[in-house]
Structure 1
Amino acid sequence: MSDWEQGLLTATDAPAVVVHRTAGLSGQQATVAAVLDELEATAGQLFPAWLPGAEGITTSAGAAPVAVRRLAVAHAAATGQSGPFLADLAAAALTGSAAHTRRHPPEVRARGLARVIAASFGRPACALVLRPPDHLDEAATLALAQAAQWLVDHGRLTVWIDSDSPYGIESQPRATEPPSVARPRREPRAGTRRTRDVVGRPHPSSRAEVVLEAALARRTWAAGRAWNHTIRPGPLVNPVRVDLLWKRERCVVEIDGDDHRTPAKFTEDRHRDVMLQINGYAVLRFTNTQVLDDIDNVLVLLQQFLATRRRIRKGP
């Protein structure tokens, strides 16, 4: 267990962490189904911690299955969960049945299992660490990334992908946040992080990113860039989502909105910059205003920035 996973387990306001070693399946649906089956098995092992009133039911004999179903339906009604799902999950946990909730839509299973696991540890949310086999092929890498995005969008899970895939798995939104700021998926609010995956292109809601990409697309020196890319700066460093990256040159460019002026965000940005620099990345920051009002100067600085890094890389 890594230091940050241990930290999550000991912090009472952090999510409950589940580590799942995926099988490297080639389809999104198959990967999601395998993850949900694994989460259901975990929930079964945690029973009856997540079902108030079931503590004294230790056998599946007689009327016990009916009793836990009734408890589950009542608990679901009091907590806004799906009664039929929770009843099936409780009965399966009591009897030791596997994947007993497959008759329910995967969205219901994902949300329900996340809540059950979090409740078992008295935590506000559930975080899932996906650890696929080493050296996934391209199809399995894509399936895993899509499955993780699905779990974020539909299961309200926080997801991290721990992989050394040569195809560059892109960890999902919220999944890439460091554990100290991990949160369950909620409806978007003003000032929150982006909620849709836009790997490889500027975010459509950011006029500054769109304008800058349009300018860079016409310049040969800007080749090799990647927008909204997730990188792992070092083996002991959490993945980081950056606005713009030149991977070969190890150049990171961040486009900052007004929210980056707040003390908390300013401190977070400095921490990220130092961490990236320690691990060999150069970081350049522009504000939205600089990009929109003085694009020519931004382009000059970017060209110089890249040229310097390329000279350093080439050597004398």
Structure 2
Amino acid sequence: MEAVAGQLFPAWLPGAEGITTSAGAARTAVSALAVAHAADTAQYGPFLVDLATGALAGPGPHTRRHQAEVRALGLGRVLAAGFGRPACALLLRPPDDLDERGALALVGAARWLVDHGRFGVWICGGSLPAVDFLPEVVMARAVPDSSVVRPVPEVSNARLGQPVEGLPRREARVGKPRHLSVVGRPHPTSRTEVVLENALVSRPWAAGRAWNSTVRPGPLVNPVRVDLLWKRERCIVEIDGDDHRAAGKYADDRHRDVMLQLNGYAVLRFTNTQVLDDIENVLALLQQFLANRRRAGKGN
């Protein structure tokens, strides 16, 4: 997507028409235009500057210093603007030999793009072994009126701009349909989230929680997805797997925690092992922390 954005430059950056090389003061001029454009739109300035100057520099990527959520949302807006459209839709064509595991990964990636990039996503092809019985799955935080990840028929001979009729509904091959997670619920494939939710559901003090929700750390920061949120108490719980021990992931977590804390959120982190092996202690800590926040009137 970043490569396509580079090819569309300067269509998505007003005032940059005619700037095609990085010679002279071109980079400075493009940076200033990007900052000004971001101030007038919902774009994030530093990301737009990196993307614009990178388009002059040549093949990238040039925006990897930004979080994936920031890149997805920014690229969605840039691609839509480059084509003169209010929103962006992606047509994904999976390989014919995609197995069930690959199909689940594809649909998960599509859902992530809908959630974080506000794309409309269409999966085009024959049949997906794991999702061909899910003809329509409503997603959260999607492009208005396009909030689905939907298999569509083969369109190799279709012309751009022409509508494509949808597939008829199919019956499930085996068992019950598999529902993907939506905002407000634990992810069904995360044993840790499901275990914690099952423990919280019978406890009155846990009322007001929401799973897999988004919060905005500050007025100039893009929304971020959190595992578990008590909105009124401004309390966030993150459940970390082993991958969060890696240096890059650890640094990203600390950076995000600081942004959230500076804007009044408390961030509690537990490992998968703590939740699965010592759930009572996790519950006791959560209950005590929420009680303290409520007594202090946090979020009122």
State the TM-score bracket (shorter-chain normalisation).
0.3 to 0.5
Q: Which has the higher contact order (CA 8 A, sep 6+)?
A: 1
TM-score, scaled relative to structure 2: 0.48
